[in-house]
Amino acid sequence: MSMPRRASAASFTAFGPGKVILLGEHAVVYGEPALAGPLHRGVRAVGVPSRRCELSIPSSVTGSHRRLITSAFRRAARATGQPRVRVSLQSDLPIAMGLGSSAALSVACARVLLEASGRSSSADEVAKVALQMERVFHGTPSGVDHSTSAHARLIHFRGAVGKRAASIRSVASPRPLKLLVALVGERGPTHRLVSALRARERRWPRRYRRLFAELGRLADEGARAVATGDLETLGDLMNVNQGFLSALQLSSPPVEQMVHRLRRAGALGAKLTGAGGSGGAVIGLFLEPEPVVARLGREGIPCFGSQLAGPQAL
């Protein structure tokens, strides 16, 4: 799935999965670990021969969004030696809802461009090029989004801080790790939420650093819980993580309502995922999410199920 495929003699296709953060968003920006995994939804990039290196963006994408995608693509094109391909994109991932749509786009483009230039398209090489694109979209991302997409595995991620290199460890699950992803309301851009939190952290560094360190510990415990098949503990950790996100003023009434609704529907744990704010994606960990997806869907709630890890995952 994740490696580029030569679709015909001279065309390439690659998939960048979206992502969910199970534990540790925001704290990961401060060097703490996070636990994140790939969705089966994402962005597909197709590259066909062309006289120059170009991206064809649907006319429905306009304004600043279009400018950002164009400038991110130019960066990746320069980094890969401007291979002569025209890249087009298809996505089934909701945009700006905390599901890593820019990272998925970056990974899919990076993979096609690397492959078209005849260079290595290993997950590490793809991640390097995708990071350059992500910096255009988000300024200084922690790297968890595009790393999860590039590796297409459940990972325990810790970003580079000072002289400490980034660490990415794949976490295998003996049990199917299944989520329901529900979409509520609308939210502002990630960088705005990250900057607002940064301002609070600068004002009250000791208290905020203490909370971030605890969030990092939850991610460590979550990785151990997944590896031992203890999904009940993972669910509890997600619930506790949601409490911290709320304490950090990253949650909102529509998000909280959905969290409680998923818990009432039998979720082992439920929380927002990604940057949070006034809306976005809310995830629930279920042993069997399918009936709940069907029920919420009938009630008009946009949602889908995805298996992140374990037997028969992505």
Residue nearest to ligand MEV (CB): 142
Q: How many CB atoms sit inside 10 A of residue 275's CB?
A: 25
Does residue 262 belong to the site contacting ligand MEV (CB under 6 A)? no
* Residue 191 beta carbon to ligand MEV: minimum distance, rounded to whole angstroms: 9
| In contact, 230 and 238? CB cutoff 8 Å | no
String marking each residue 274-313 x if it binds ligand MEV according to CB under 6 A: xx--------------------------------------
Q: Examine the residue annotation and report whether 145 is marked as an active-site residue of this protein.
A: yes
Of 25-33, 45-53, 83-91, 302-310, the segment contacting ligand MEV by CB under 6 A is 25-33
- Does residue number 201 form part of the binding site for ligand MEV (CB under 6 A)? no
Contact assessment for residue 14 and residue 44, using Cβ atoms and an 8 Å cutoff: yes
Pairing of strands 34-49, 11-23: antiparallel
Find the part of the chain contacting ligand MEV (CB under 6 A) among 8-16, 139-147, 179-187, 228-236.
Answer: 139-147
Both tokens assigned to 248? 């950090």
For the CB of residue 223, give the shortest distance to ligand MEV in the complex, in Å: 17
Q: Answer yes or no whether residue 111 interacts with ligand MEV by CB under 6 A.
A: no
**From the CB of residue 58, how many other CB atoms can be counted at a distance below 10 Å?**
11
To ligand MEV, the closest distance from the beta carbon of 144 in angstroms equals: 5
Give the residue, chosen from 37, 42, 141, 280, that forms a contact with ligand MEV under the rule CB under 6 A.
Answer: 141
Beta strands at 54-56 and 11-23: parallel, antiparallel or unpaired: unpaired
Separation CA 168–CA 13 (nearest Å): 25
Q: 111 is written with which tokens?
A: 């993979």
The answer to whether the beta carbons of residues 104 and 19 sit under 8 Å apart is: yes
Contact between 255 and ligand MEV (CB under 6 A)? Answer: no
Closest distance to ligand MEV from the beta carbon of 29 (Å): 5
Instruction: Quote the least distance from Cβ 53 to ligand MEV, whole Å.
Output: 27
For 8, the 3-state DSSP assignment is strand
CA dihedral 169→173→174→180, nearest 10 degrees, is -170
Reference 282, options 307, 257, 247; nearest CA is 257
Among 127, 194, 262, 267, binds ligand MEV (CB under 6 A): 194
Yes or no: say if 309 and 216 are a contact pair by the CB < 8 Å rule. no
Q: Which of 22, 28, 219, 309 binds ligand MEV (CB under 6 A)?
A: 28
The whole-angstrom separation of Cα 89 and Cα 47 is: 9
Q: Does 142 bind ligand MEV (CB under 6 A)?
A: yes
Which residue lies nearer to ligand MEV by CB, 109 or 144? 144
Rg of the chain over all Cα atoms, to the nearest angstrom? 19
Rounded CA-CA distance 309/165 in Å is 26
Q: Binder to ligand MEV among 4, 14, 17, 25 (CB under 6 A)?
A: 25
Nearer of residues 83 and 277 to ligand MEV, judged by Cβ: 277
- Which pair of tokens denotes residue 244? 């911290």
**Interface with ligand MEV includes 17 (CB under 6 A)?**
no
Q: Bridge-partner residues for 271, per DSSP?
A: 283
Q: Of 230 and 256, which CB lies nearer to ligand MEV in the complex structure?
A: 256
User: Scanning residues 34 to 73, which ones bind ligand MEV (CB under 6 A)?
Assistant: none
Q: How far is the CB of 139 from ligand MEV (least distance, A)?
A: 9
Instruction: Point out the residues that are catalytic.
Output: 145
Residues that bind ligand MEV (CB under 6 A): 25-26, 28-29, 98, 141-142, 144-145, 190, 194, 274-275
